[in-house]
């Protein structure tokens, strides 16, 4: 059963008082337990689509439906806090918070008891294979692969079932890309999460369960 559905989704931007279509009557569905890759040329609308799935915006028409409820009928702040999370290519970690504090941040936003948030953050760090000795370092003092794992651990806080990743391997070397993909596949296959990855990376495409291509404002199954 689909956890996320796109129903006749349209989206456009206004540029110089003219509308530019980005998504045109897009329909698709995504299930838990799978890794999906979305490919397409730069400027094709992949990041816009990811933003709609994440509840950072709503369609101009049509619906993004999570577990039977359209996002335009939901409290989008609550949706992002408890249901969907974005893993950014640039990591988007807070530079003045340690790795552990970055992981704890979503739980603190939700007013989780500090001791519980601390214990849960350490457990999430262990899940993504972050060494304990790294947790008190600031993002600028750890590698790109380690920063990406911190970002993934933070995305897992509040037990979100939908993980959306924007080029998660784009700034990593081959070894770290493999590690991140191993982790995303584990989260989908073993923890029954729905993982949707926007990517140009052939490795991600090869290892994803299903691949969609966004072209000419349409989303079509590629593999």
CATH H-level superfamily of 1-83+160-223: P-loop containing nucleotide triphosphate hydrolases (3.40.50.300)
Give the Cα separation of 44 and 57 in Å (integer).
17
- Cα–Cα distances (Å) from 209 to 54, 62, 149, 184, in that order, read 21, 26, 21, 11
Instruction: Label residues 127-166 b or e (16+ Cβ within 10 Å = b).
Output: bbebeeebbeeebeebeebbbbbbbbbbbbbbebbbbbbb
Q: Strand order in 2-15's β-sheet?
A: 18-31, 2-15, 61-66, 69-70
User: Can you tell me which residue has the tokens 């966004």?
Assistant: 214
Hey, how many other C-beta atoms are within 10 angstroms of the C-beta on 50?
Answer: 20
Determine which helix (DSSP H) or strand (DSSP E) holds 2, and give its type and residue range: strand 2-15
What pLDDT is recorded for position 211? Answer: 97
Contact at 8 Å (CB) between 134 and 99? Answer: yes
Domain ranges of the chain: 1-83+160-223, 95-159
Closest CA to 21 of 38, 4, 5, 9: 9
Spatial CB neighbours of 59, under 8 Å, sequence gap ≥ 6: 9, 10, 11, 23, 52, 72
What pLDDT is recorded for position 174? Answer: 83
Contact at 8 Å (CB) between 55 and 84? Answer: yes
Determine which helix (DSSP H) or strand (DSSP E) holds 126, and give its type and residue range: helix 114-127
* Conformational region of residue 39, where left means phi above 0, alpha means psi within -120 to 50, and beta covers everything else: beta
What pLDDT is recorded for position 105? Answer: 94
- What's this model's pTM, rounded to 2 decimal places? 0.91
* Residuewise pLDDT in 10s, the chain (223 residues): 799 999 999 999 877 677 788 999 999 999 999 999 999 998 899 999 999 999 999 999 999 999 999 999 999 999 998 899 999 888 889 999 999 999 999 999 889 999 999 999 999 999 888 999 999 999 999 998 899 999 999 988 888 899 999 998 887 888 888 888 999 999 999 999 999 999 999 989 999 999 999 999 999 999 8
Report strand pairing: 162-166 vs 194-198: parallel
Closest CA to 164 of 57, 41, 62: 57
What pLDDT is recorded for position 57? Answer: 94
């Amino acid at each position: 059963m689909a956890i996320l559905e796109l129903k006749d989704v349209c989206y456009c931007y206004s540029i110089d008082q003219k509308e530019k279509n980005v998504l045109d009557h897009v329909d698709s569905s995504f299930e838990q337990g799978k890794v999906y890759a979305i490919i397409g040329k730069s400027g094709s609308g992949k990041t816009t689509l990811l933003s709609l799935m994440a509840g950072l915006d709503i369609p101009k028409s049509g619906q993004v439906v999570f577990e039977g409820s359209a996002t335009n009928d939901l409290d989008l702040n609550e949706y992002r806090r408890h249901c969907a999370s974005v893993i950014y290519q640039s990591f988007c970690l807070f530079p003045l918070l340690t790795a552990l504090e970055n992981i704890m941040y979503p739980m603190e936003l939700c007013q989780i008891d500090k001791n519980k948030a601390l214990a849960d953050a350490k457990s999430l760090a262990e899940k993504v294979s972050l060494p304990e000795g790294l947790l008190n370092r600031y993002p600028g003092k750890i590698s790109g692969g380690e920063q990406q794992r911190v970002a993934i651990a933070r995305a897992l806080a509040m037990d979100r079932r939908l993980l959306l990743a924007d080029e998660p391997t784009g700034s990593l070397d081959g070894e770290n890309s493999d590690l991140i993909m191993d982790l995303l596949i584990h989260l989908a296959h073993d923890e029954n999460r729905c993982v949707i990855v926007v990517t140009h990376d052939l490795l991600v495409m090869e290892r994803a369960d299903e691949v969609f291509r966004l072209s000419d404002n349409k989303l079509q199954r590629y593999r």
